[in-house]
Amino acid sequence: MTALAQTFSGPNRLVLAAALSGLVAVTALATLHGGHTLGLATLIGGLAGVSLYHASFGFTAAWRRIVTEKRGGGLRAQFLLILLTALVSFPLIGWGAGIGLPTGGFVFPFGIAAAIGAFLFGLGMQLGGGCASGTLFTAGGGSTRMMVTLAAFVTGSVAATPHMHLWGQLPKLPAFSLIGNFGPIGAFAITAVVLGAIALWSVRVETRAHGSLAEPRATESVLTGPWSLVFGAVMIAIVGIATFLVLGRPWGITSGFALWGAKIWQGLGVTVTDWPYWQWQKGALEASVFADATSVMNFGILLGAMTAAALAGKYAPVWKLSRRDLLTALIGGLLMGYGARLAYGCNIGAYLGGIVSGSLHGWLWLVFGFIGSLAGTRLRLKLGMG
């Protein structure tokens, strides 16, 4: 039986119907509460979920493989994603207002708190088994372990918010924009040179270890997957560019987790509005979660990945988890959630979002996040996680 035939039989047919119905419902609710812009944002999230799942496009495994296996294909695919997005985002940020497309980037100061946060996130993503986007698409694809990681991620995110004003008092470098200082063309040239140099280093590491580069995986089917990393990078770049065009800012994920956690804690009687972090976001706490652009995109990712898993005939949750899997998922999720708040987000919002905004903080996040990932990779090996 072909993969397409499997899709429309048995459980996969029911999962596909549920996923598509859910995506339609969330799109309608987002449109009702936030207008057509948020409806479009939901669908962009759905495309992200399909793309991430079919390409198995994660930052976590790619960072781990360059260390443990000396394979850099995933790392180079990330750089392709960044450059394709920046090719459009840099001109939009620099000149968009002049053509009726006002666009802002994520440009933040980077200091001790952000460095600690990026390190904690990198460590946590190796224990948890995925970054923020990886957690969403694998949870949506039916991974019960990643559902645990997601719940812990949400908890860690809101747990950081009472302390944010204290972390914010630590020393930091001022915000620095490559676009503001060198213009869109100069900023893109600098970005391309640095990423190209790292890509060449990864090629050298891989060829030294194996004699040649790994044979790239081919795209077998656009509908049922799997996709090649290059095709996945192109499709996820389309997601990032569409987010700039529709929302006027980069793609982000983890602020939605903090909002979900705050709403849950508020529902349990915790007065989160007393915390400085939420005092300027009371409107978001009072409004429907479907009025939050980041949240509806996240819902779209979950449902898009669920759709892709059903199309691939692979939606089959395994409900039994070992004690190690459960504990590492919980600890990894908590570390990622807390770290993401300190460091302006995750691999998507801080690393990808920062670099495609031309911000120095995105590059510094990469450095400290990778150091944390290296520590997490070594800890995984000690724990026998492979």
Segment 254-281 shows an average pLDDT of 93
Per-residue pLDDT tens over the stretch 65-123: 999 999 999 999 999 999 999 999 999 999 999 999 999 999 999 999 999 999 999 99
pLDDT class of 1 with cuts at 50, 70, 90:
very low
Task: For 158-207, write each residue's pLDDT tens digit.
Answer: 999 999 999 999 999 999 999 999 999 999 999 999 999 999 999 999 99
Question: Which residues lie below 8 Å from residue 99, measured CB to CB, with a gap of 6+?
Answer: none
284 alpha-carbon distance from chain centroid: 21
Confidence of residue 10 (pLDDT cuts 50, 70, 90): low
Proportion of the chain above pLDDT 90, given as a percent = 81
Count up the domains in the chain and report the number: 1
pLDDT of residue 9: 54
Residue-wise DSSP of 197-252: HHHHHHHHHHHHHHSSPPPPPPP--TTT----HHHHHHHHHHHHHHHHHHHSS---
**How sure is the predictor about 318, in pLDDT bands with cuts at 50, 70 and 90?**
confident
Beta bridge partners of 110: 173
What are the DSSP calls for 300-347, one per residue?
HHHHHHHHHHHHTT---------HHHHHHHHHHHHHHHHHHHHTTSSI
In the predicted structure, residue 354 carries a pLDDT above the cut 60: yes
Mean pLDDT of 268-272: 93
Q: What is the model's pLDDT at position 76?
A: 96
Tell me the pLDDT of the chain averaged across its residues. 92
Burial of 173-206, coded b for 16+ CB within 10 Å and e otherwise, reads eeebbbbeeebbeebbeebeeebeeebeebeebb
Residue 356 belongs to domain spanning:
3-382
Whole-angstrom distance, CA of residue 265 vs CA of residue 255: 15
Spatial CA neighbour of 302 closest among 5, 9, 12, 20: 20
